[in-house]
Amino acid sequence: MRKLITLGLFIIAAIAGHFLTLYLVPSVIMNATQTRLADQGLALNQWAAAPRMTPQAQTIVRPSPDLFYAICRFDLQEGAMLISAPGWDRYGSLSIFDDRTNNVFIANLDGENAGILLYHPTRPSKEEGRSYIRQDEDVLAFSGEGLALIRRVAPDVEQHSASVELIDDSVCSPVNWAP
């Protein structure tokens, strides 16, 4: 009887450990990424432009030398977040990843601005939040930490510099409206 219980406990623990690990892997990876970005000095709720990718400046594997990247790490603990970026006359995108690495939002930046209000599902209501933003911006229920990413085709120094300047017109910050 004791052997059966031991075997049963072992099997149940193995199954639990197996699926718990699979469930936790994305969160652990995203958490490690957030920590690494914070350690590199990336402030919360603020866009930061990556330097132009060259052989001498590369910090990640398989960087795309044709693209401009900007990243914002954000946390909805202060309430709703407005994330937006101005359009670009070539290929571009604004994307958002949640704390389990899911790509929960993506919008084109080719010739048009894009933005979204990220909204904690429990405070206040989604409908109330919608009234604070323009009709052409979208709303998404979101909680916890995330990463926003801007990509733009910018294959030369001039276009990369122009993309960097657009960061001043991009938003990644908590929305403070009247209580």
Work out whether 72 is an interface residue with another protein (CB under 8 A). Answer: no
- Rule CB under 8 A: choose which of 31, 45, 101, 143 binds another protein: 101
Is there a contact between 101 and 32 (Cβ–Cβ < 8 Å)?
no
Q: How far apart are CA 87 and CA 115, in angstroms?
A: 10
CA atoms within 13 A on the CB side of 24: 8
Quote helix, strand, coil % in the chain, to nearest 5.
35, 30, 35
* Three-state DSSP class for residue 31: helix
Q: Between 25 and 134, whose beta carbon lies closer to another protein?
A: 25
Give the DSSP H/E element, type plus range, for residue 82.
strand 81-85
Size of the site for another protein (CB under 8 A): 51
Q: How far apart are CA 94 and CA 108, in angstroms?
A: 7
Q: Between 80 and 148, whose beta carbon lies closer to another protein?
A: 148
Work out whether 5 is an interface residue with another protein (CB under 8 A). Answer: yes
Residue span binding another protein (CB under 8 A) among the ranges 44-52, 77-85, 102-110, 127-135: 102-110
Whose structure tokens read 């939002």?
105
Q: Which residues ranging from 150 to 179 are in contact with another protein (CB under 8 A)?
A: 151, 153, 155
* 101 DSSP 8-state letter: S
- Rule CB under 8 A: choose which of 26, 79, 87, 174 binds another protein: 26
Q: Between 39 and 168, whose beta carbon lies closer to another protein?
A: 39
Is there a contact between 147 and 96 (Cβ–Cβ < 8 Å)?
yes
- Rule CB under 8 A: choose which of 35, 38, 43, 64 binds another protein: 64
Q: Between 25 and 141, whose beta carbon lies closer to another protein?
A: 25
Binding residues (CB under 8 A) for another protein: these are 2, 5-7, 9-23, 25-26, 29-30, 33, 53-56, 58, 61-66, 90-91, 93, 95, 97, 100-101, 103, 106, 108, 110, 147, 149, 151, 153, 155
